[in-house]
Structure 1
Amino acid sequence: MFYYLNGTVAEVQPNLAVIDCGGVGYACATTGHTLSGLKKGEKAKLYTHFHVAENAFGLYGFGSPAELGSFKLLIGVSGVGPKAALAILSVSTPETLAMSVITGDEKALTAAPGIGKKIAQRIILELKDKMSKESAANGFALGTGGAAVSADFTSKTMEAAAALSVLGYSSAETAAAMKGVDTQSLPLEEIIRACLKKMAR
């Protein structure tokens, strides 16, 4: 329905930002990370998702396409609603969420209010399954530890590619983003962050 809102920040409240676009104020539920980058009276652009449920609907806004992509992936996990997804993304960035899935780090997810161990395990299981399918479709396989194995690419490069696939990016987008990134010496999280910055341009 809406792809993004580009206007002036009219209000900033806990978990909520109001963006004035041409005299109409759009209330967007959002994350702590996005709110930290907003200031009342200044221009802002939020990438949005209009969520429709059986008895409710809501508009959600995010400071980057990667954060929006992470939100959509999380609400696609059985038992994870928008409120839980926002809680997770208020304590995890898109790159740390991807790292949590790759490494099976339940504690990083349960740090979010209202997220218990069972939900954290389900998120890791379902997103890792999605990552494995994406990896297989792109011609490489995941090892038991989550590391991708390939004769042509380093394990770290493949793990970064798998993490980006979890965030919804295609193999072509990932390959283009990795050009010029020092995948040999940078830590895995920095590789993912560098790619996300390039794809957000």
Structure 2
Amino acid sequence: SSMGVGEIRQAIVNEDVRAIQSIKGVGPKTAQRVILDLKDKLRKDELLAKAGVETVPLARQHNTHRQEALQALVMLGFARAAAEKTLDQIQHKHGPDLSVEALIKFALKSN
């Protein structure tokens, strides 16, 4: 089944292992690891967004999003070099303003 970016974000924030596992190629251990690594960051971003706070200057934020997406993809079993190349292609095609979730979603769809 295909999940949207918002659905992936909610599944991580809600620690919904089953929903994350529904992504092709993601098993229980990987789902738990992705949730463990990203839930606090996503919760913090959500709270700050609700408060209207810009947390990180945009240029640094994009780099942080790319790094977090890269870490998640490597945890999902991607080779680091392949994940970096895929993220480069995604950012070239869609621009640097993508969220972590969007980067991961596009990367999963491209492979």
Q: Where on the TM-score scale, by shorter chain, does this alignment land: which range?
A: 0.3 to 0.5
Q: Which has the higher contact order (CA 8 A, sep 6+)?
A: 2
Give 1 or 2: higher strand fraction.
Answer: 1
TM-score (norm 1): 0.28
TM-score (norm 2): 0.47
Query: Quick check: which has more Rg, 1 or 2?
Result: 1
